[in-house]
Amino acid sequence: MLTEREGLAQEQLEERVIRIDRTRKTVAGGRLSSARVVVAIGDHKGSIGLGIGKARSVPEAIEKGIKQAKKNMIRIPLDGYTIPYTVQAKVGGAIILLKPASRGTGIVAGGATRQLIEISGIRDILTKSLGSGNVMNRAKSCFKALSILRDPHTVAEDRETTVEEMLGRQVVDAYAAEAELEEAEADEEVAEEAEEAASEVEVEAGAEAASELSEEAELVVEESTAEEDAVTASEEESAEDLDKE
């Protein structure tokens, strides 16, 4: 049975362990150690998940964190390789501000926010931490900000208008466009293979038909030859009868 970490490779997901906190609790029998891990997973194409795992050992905590992150996976609406508009979220005392950036800006972020942004597939963005420096709350607030983003196309439908009329420009998810292009190319390849297979079948059918025609022609020739031989034999017999008379 595959573990959660091994399953990520098959699903083409990357994991990032953002923070590991170890605690010890004193009980009557001694001290109990435990770990809390903040884990993020993403496909670098607009999907991301965040999870927190707690267990006695760090590997078990990571496994639990990955499992929870898979359940919390979201799809981020993108405008090219950035977010469509400015968004802000707060968790505890941590406040994260995310702003779209022009192509080539890169990821202007640090700490937990940068870890999340990198594996999400966002390539150009401006970020600012406005509150507490708690790593777990920063990660949660960044994930919350990304999760409350709405797709401009959905907003335009709700307002009974178009994205061009609403924003004055088109909004295209770069990764969705790439996926559509790859799918179209795959369909073209399948169509070409089908055409080649059909042409091969037609050639084979034509060859079979030609062989059948040639066999029929040979039979006709043989029959005509046999008839000619029979006529010739009958003429020779009639000629011999005349000679005898």
Domain segments of the chain as ranges: 1-75
Model confidence over 3-57: pLDDT tens digits? 776 677 777 889 999 999 998 888 877 888 899 999 999 999 999 999 999 999 9
Does pLDDT of 126 surpass 90?
yes
Q: Give the strand order in the sheet containing 87-91.
A: 87-91, 94-100, 125-129, 107-108
pLDDT reading at 235 higher than 70: no
Burial of 37 from C-beta contacts in 10 A (0-12 / 13-18 / 19+): buried
pLDDT surpassing 70 at residue 207? no
Look over the chain and give the mean of its residue pLDDT values, rounded to a whole number: 84
Backbone angles phi, psi at 174, to 5 degrees: -60, -40
Amino acid, res. 185: E
Q: What is the dihedral of CA 138, 139, 141, 147, to 10 degrees?
A: 160
Instruction: Give the DSSP H/E element, type plus range, for residue 245.
Output: none
Cα(30)–Cα(223) distance, integer angstroms: 108
pTM: 0.74
Q: When comparing pLDDT for 105 and 221, which is higher?
A: 105
Among 3.40.50.920, 3.10.105.10, 2.60.120.260, 3.30.160.20, name the CATH number for the domain at 1-75: 3.30.160.20
